[in-house]
């Protein structure tokens, strides 16, 4: 990080006292985003990789998240500077870049998040993030505000994790245990002991590099343990899963099905 004075989500992730609880949102409805905020989550990740929306839905969803008191990260569908720029132009506090496997890819992700001379992000002073031209400090503040988070979810990334974590300007490494488990030969077993051990190795590499670590918890009961292991942000839920489980619990509580 050097001596740069960070702000926004970048500053929060750099703070060792941070403990952000997040949720993935793949349903393109502002009501879903608002519910995530109003029920106590700190951060929402708008899922542009697996979610049911594209960049055109982002401004409204981000505005809804802001109104509900949430930090907003967009998981972009791929490592693509134009796609990353579009998410940040829409007003996201940061991006989550999937399947980053090498330090070179991590550096490209960081550069895509920063305006020149620190990066290659395209400049536009009248987008939503700039309050359509009414934020005079936008071009300078965006570099210190917007967080670049890369996902470690491949066995190849584990081999390069020290170099990935040490990428200049990177804010956090986030472990995706579901894809990681598949890549390690344990398909559908995100809580497998080898996957858990690998996640802790990622945390250790992040700590050595002075960047934040995060993870998707396999179950809500695992969240506290990940924070204890050094995570600064943990994703504890997915909107579709929370909706399914809530609906199933409601049906079960009626005891109607059992009596049929």
Show which residues are catalytic. Answer: 50
The tokens describing 39, both together, are 């029920």
| Helix or strand run (H / E) with residue 96 | strand 94-97
Rounded distance between C-alpha atoms, residue 213 and residue 210, angstroms: 10
Q: Which residues contact 41 (CB under 8 A, 6 or more apart)?
A: 21, 22, 23, 70, 236, 237
Q: Which residues contact 47 (CB under 8 A, 6 or more apart)?
A: 24, 25, 26, 75
Rounded distance between C-alpha atoms, residue 112 and residue 99, angstroms: 16
Q: How far is CA 241 from the centre of its chain?
A: 18
Rounded distance between C-alpha atoms, residue 90 and residue 35, angstroms: 21
Rounded distance between C-alpha atoms, residue 236 and residue 223, angstroms: 7
The tokens describing 97, both together, are 């870049």
Helix 103-113 × helix 81-89 angle, to 10°: 40
């Amino acid at each position: 990080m050097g001596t740069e004075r960070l702000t926004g989500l970048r500053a929060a992730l750099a703070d060792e006292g941070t403990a952000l609880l997040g949720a993935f949102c793949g349903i393109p409805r502002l009501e879903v985003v608002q519910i995530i905020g109003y029920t106590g989550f700190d951060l929402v990740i708008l899922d542009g990789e697996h979610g049911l929306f594209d960049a055109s839905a982002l401004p409204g969803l981000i505005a809804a998240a802001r109104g509900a008191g949430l930090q907003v990260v967009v998981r972009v569908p791929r490592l693509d500077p134009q796609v990353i720029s579009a998410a940040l132009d829409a007003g996201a506090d940061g991006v989550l870049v999937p399947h980053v496997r090498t330090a070179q890819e991590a550096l490209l992700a960081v550069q895509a998040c920063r305006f020149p001379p620190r990066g290659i992000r395209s400049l536009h002073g009248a987008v939503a993030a700039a309050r359509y031209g009414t934020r005079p400090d936008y071009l300078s503040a965006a570099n210190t505000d917007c967080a670049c988070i890369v996902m470690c979810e491949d066995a190849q990334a584990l081999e390069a994790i020290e170099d990935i974590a040490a990428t200049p300007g990177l804010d956090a490494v986030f472990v995706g245990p579901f894809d990681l488990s598949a890549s390690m030969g344990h398909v559908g077993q995100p809580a497998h002991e080898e996957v858990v051990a690998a996640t802790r190795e990622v945390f250790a590499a992040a700590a050595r590099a002075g960047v934040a670590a995060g993870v998707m918890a396999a179950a809500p009961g695992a969240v506290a343990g990940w924070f204890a292991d050094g995570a600064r942000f943990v994703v504890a839920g997915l909107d579709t899963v929370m909706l399914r489980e809530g609906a199933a619990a409601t049906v079960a509580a009626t005891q109607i099905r059992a009596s049929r």
